[in-house]
Amino acid sequence: MSAAPSAPSEEAPSTPEALDPAPPPDSPPPGHVTAKKAGRGGAAVAAAKVYFILVGLVQQIALKRVLGLEAYGALSSALQAASIAYNPLVQTSIQGVSRVVASAKDDERPRALRRALSAHAVVALVAGALFFVFAEPLGRWMGAPHIVLSLQLLSAVMVAYGLYAPLVGALNGFHRFLAQAGLDALAATLRTVGLIGGAVWFAHRAAAVAGGASGSTSGLLGRLGGAEGAILGFVVAATLILLVSVFLVGVGKPGGTRPSFRQHFSFLFPLLLGQALLNCLFQADALLLRRFASEAATTAGMDVTAADALVGAYRAAQLFCFLPYQLLMSITFVLFPMVAQAAAASDRTAVRRYVRNGIRLAAMVTGLLVSVVSGLSYGLIDLVFGADAAQLGGGAARILALGLGFLAIFGIQTAVLNSLGYERASAWVTGLAFVLVVTACFVGVRGQEFGEILLVRTAWATAAGLTIATCAAGWAVRRTAGGVIALSSALRIGGALALTTVVGVALPAGGKLLTLVYAPVLASVYVTCLVLTRELGSADLAQLKAVIRR
């Protein structure tokens, strides 16, 4: 499934407050840091999260319109495959360097920064080289040899991001949250401009060449179509943001002896494995759909490129269905420190209360988004991506919305486990989710006939795997935190979701304009159900305001 960052989108932005490490020994007391900086950092995180979602949506809409559904699907496969490699590298580098900088004394920070950057530069270069080498076998395994060049170009992005992420981590370690959020916003903007600009330029160039216009088609540039051009624009954007980050942060001073490389990478390795596992979970269904659709196309006597349209339509469905996960990750920025603080104080009652209220609030927000997306799946995709994507992906989106709704709750639950110090349990349930989704896809999707049925079956497989994994994570949270959402609340929220979805499905199709009208109507139906069943009251509104103020 595609993240977030994001959420997720293929690029996961850093999150200032979530990655805020313990203050260094000579820093002000934690309370001072929280009052002075964490509030502004939290506001920056919230604003950046909304910005990332909006920019990512604009990006995907524009790319589909410029490239068409088929090339959009090819581009999506390349970006999703590469994100499994570079997202863990980015997130791990941010956390690792943030920890190094924050734990160093003021006079040692420049040298500690240079030493950490040197280590991560080697990692970035090696990772980029390995991805370039394995791009061809990866493309063959996916059943998409035509995206090998795109994957090879993305190895340059991996190097640039591998150098950029440690600099973002340095800003985090210095508690420069506003600068970090601004840099991330600039990176998202440059990435969007680069992807769209490259797609437009090379798509028009390819069309001119195909139409008989003069121009050379030899060499690397002659092999670039719109999808490859978009990635080349991404490479340029990644290079630019790297240069900006170097100018903003600097590269420190030579001569340091700390951190110890062995200790540093001993800390990073478990984080890297956890992030890699999480990103595999995000992308598993889409990449397996690509492979199985290519197999089905070959069996039907078609070229493997016929699978591009199916992948593009599934990607369009994912963008709506991932909204609950993307938005609810903001709750973890508040819930994580509250639970951790209560656990540190051995206040089991407070831990249980925070967890129950946090998961309940997350479930209500998830139900609202899922019911609207599921009830209006065809209309929403048609509104944003066009009738071709809606015809292929509307049925899958109706099911996938529920599955990725469970993923949103799953994300909250794993955040709770991490905040309580049960990182291993969090990793185990994430691994379980990945295995369940992959197994369900192999059992339920592989061997199906080419067509829309592949998307629907993939959505069912994903939803089934994530539902079981969420139940398992809930059991783990109940054992460690003392409680999860009350059964009565779960039933009322589930009932409101089901009723609202049925109403949405029953509404007569009326084009794009009516879809815009139907969406707030369905949201009102959902909220009314919660109010009438007394699941939602004035106390919840007060609690929501308190969360926002934090």
pLDDT digits (tens, 9 = 90+) for 466-504: 999 999 999 999 998 888 888 999 999 999 999 999 999
**For the chain, give me the number of helices (H) and strands (E)?**
18, 0
Whether residue 492 is contained in a domain is answered as yes
C-alpha to C-alpha distances, 481 to 277, 355, 366, 473, nearest whole angstrom? 24, 7, 22, 12
Q: Taking residues 321-334, report their average pLDDT.
A: 78
Taking residue 494's Cβ as centre, other Cβ atoms within 10 Å add up to: 12
Stronger pLDDT, 545 or 122, i.e. the higher one = 122
User: Which has the higher per-residue pLDDT, 274 or 541?
Assistant: 274
Residue 13: per-residue pLDDT: 43
**Final residue of a domain: which of 203, 225, 259?**
259
Asked whether residue 293 is domain-assigned, the answer is no
Q: Minimum mean pLDDT among 27-36, 174-183, 190-199: which range?
A: 27-36
Q: Are residues 130 and 226 in the same domain?
A: yes
Query: Is there a single domain that holds both residue 137 and residue 212?
Result: yes
Q: Calculate what percentage of the chain has a pLDDT beyond 70.
A: 82
- Where a domain ends, among 238, 259, 280? 259
Together in a domain, 66 and 150: yes
Q: Are 128 and 86 in contact (CB under 8 A)?
A: no
- Mean pLDDT score, 117-123: 90
Instruction: Please give the average per-residue pLDDT across 514-531, as a whole number.
Output: 94
* Rounded-to-10 torsion of CA 161, 164, 166, 169: -110
Q: What is the mean pLDDT of residues 511-522?
A: 92
Q: Are residues 236 and 370 in the same domain?
A: no
Task: Tell me: pLDDT of 246 over 80.
Answer: yes
- DSSP helix/strand/coil, 125: helix
Tell me the residue range of the domain where 431 lies.
306-550
Q: What is the pLDDT of residue 19?
A: 30
- Predicted local confidence at residue 422, as pLDDT: 86
DSSP code string of 374-410? HHTHHHHHHHHH-HHHHHHHHHHHHHHHHHHHHHHHH
Q: Is the pTM of this model over 0.75?
A: yes
Q: What is the pLDDT of residue 504?
A: 95
Assigned domain for 284 exists = no
Does 110 fall in a domain? yes
Compute the average pLDDT of residues 436-460: 97
> What is the predicted pLDDT for the residue at 548?
52
| Cα 237-11-321 angle, rounded to 5 deg | 135
Query: Rounded CA gap, 433 and 439, in Å?
Result: 10
* Short-list 310, 284, 238, CA closest to 2: 284
Q: Are residues 427 and 546 in the same domain?
A: yes
- 354 or 338, which is more confident: 354
Best-predicted range by mean pLDDT among 25-29, 318-322, 544-548? 318-322
First to last CA, the chain: 30
Q: Nearest-CA neighbor of 68 among 189, 199, 172?
A: 199
* Least confident piece of the model among 379-383, 520-524, 544-548: 544-548
Q: pLDDT band at 342, cuts 50/70/90?
A: low
Tokens of 138: 């990866």
Q: Burial code of 378-405, b = ≥16 C-beta within 10 A, e = fewer?
A: bbbbbbbbbebbbebbbbbbbbbbbbbb
Cβ(107)–Cβ(183) below 8 Å: no
Do residue 207 and residue 89 come from a single domain?
yes
The model's pLDDT over 395-406, given as tens digits with 9 standing for 90+, comes to 999 999 999 999
Distance CA 29, CA 25 (A): 9
Cα–Cα distance between 293 and 298 in angstroms, integer?
Answer: 9
**For the residues 146-154, what does the mean pLDDT come to?**
96
- pLDDT value at position 21? 30
**Around Cβ 158, how many Cβ atoms within 10 Å?**
23
Note whether residue 360 is domain-resident: yes
Q: Tell me the β-bridge partners of 8.
A: 4
Question: Residue 267 domain-assigned?
Answer: no
Q: Do 447 and 520 fall within a single domain?
A: yes
Q: Looking at the domain assignment, is residue 276 inside a domain?
A: no
**Residues 209 and 324 placed together within one structural domain of the fold:** no
pLDDT the model gives residue 163: 94
Question: Is the pLDDT score of 3 beyond 60?
Answer: no
Residues 232 and 331 grouped into a single domain = no
Residues 151 and 40 in one domain: yes
275 assigned to some structural domain:
no
Instruction: Tell which residue, 68, 91, 239, 87, has the closest CA to residue 153.
Output: 239
Domain count, the chain: 2
Q: Mean of the per-residue pLDDT values for the chain?
A: 84
325 plus 179 within the same structural domain: no
- C-alpha dist (Å) from residue 277 to 131, 274, 334, 435: 17, 5, 24, 10
Question: Is there a single domain that holds both residue 365 and residue 441?
Answer: yes
Backbone angles phi, psi at 324, to 5 degrees: -60, -45
User: What percent of the chain clears pLDDT 90, i.e. is strictly above it?
Assistant: 55
- Return the ∠ at Cα 3 (arms to 513 and 67), rounded to 5°: 55
> Last residue of some domain: 196, 226, 259?
259
pLDDT of residue 6: 42
